[in-house]
Amino acid sequence: MKAITAISTLCFLLSCSPEPVKNMKDLEQSMMDLKAYQENLGEGIRACRLEDSRWLLDGMDSTLRTVAATITEHHRMDKPFAYYKKRLLDKPLSELESAFDDNDTAKARAQYVILVDKCNKCHLDLEIDKEVKY
Ligand code: HEC
């Protein structure tokens, strides 16, 4: 009983709840978050700051995971976001990670360009008039 009280108090303090997440961001807000990560990632890679860039990649990755888990329907998409993520982004994201592991700046630059191309590919396919810049 004590344990249960402790857990619910903790939940209250951390304001977690068993209900589905209410403050779920919509796709547009998440895309703005992605843009911020992507721009800083590009800057970091260009400046050869691969350690900082890794944090940004992690942030982008967790944003993408959240979007993939929550956005299953959207008026601009025929399929859940997870489908596009897997098809377009997973490969360059893991290649970037391995470039960071190897401290390989040339590979990181090349994979960053591919990543941005894939962001744009999805926008083009779905007729979203938004060009992601390198
Ligand atoms: C599902 C394929 C898909 C992928 C992959 C994708 N986007 Fe988007 N993006 C969208 C859709 C759909 C919208 C329009 C959202 C809306 O208007 O509700 C959008 C909109 C945007 C916007 C405009 C948001 C605004 O409010 O003006 C930005 C910026 C953006 N995406 C950045 C990115 C970046 C950076 C990446 C790559 C890391 C990316 N997107 C990858 C589908 C995608």
Atom 16, ligand 1: residue with shortest CA distance: 28
Span from the CA of 5 to the centroid of ligand 1 (angstroms): 43
CA distances from 35 to 26, 41, 70, 74 (A): 14, 10, 19, 19
The CA distance from 43 to 25, in Å, is: 26
* Predicted local confidence at residue 101, as pLDDT: 96
More confident residue, 22 or 74: 74
**Average pLDDT for the chain:** 90
Tens of pLDDT along 41-60? 999 999 999 999 999 999 99
Encode 6-31: b = buried (16+ Cβ within 10 Å), e = exposed: eeeeeeeeeeeeeeeeeeebebeebb
Checking if the pLDDT of 79 tops 60, the result is yes
Atom of ligand 1 nearest to the CA of 85: 5
Pocket, ligand 1, Cβ cutoff 6 A: 27-28, 31-32, 34-35, 38, 74, 76-77, 81, 84, 88-89, 119, 122-123, 126, 128, 130, 132
Phi-psi region of 43 (alpha: psi -120 to 50; beta: other; left: phi over 0): alpha
**Residue appearing with tokens 């888990």:** 69
**Residue appearing with tokens 């209250």:** 12
State the average pLDDT over residues 105-114: 98
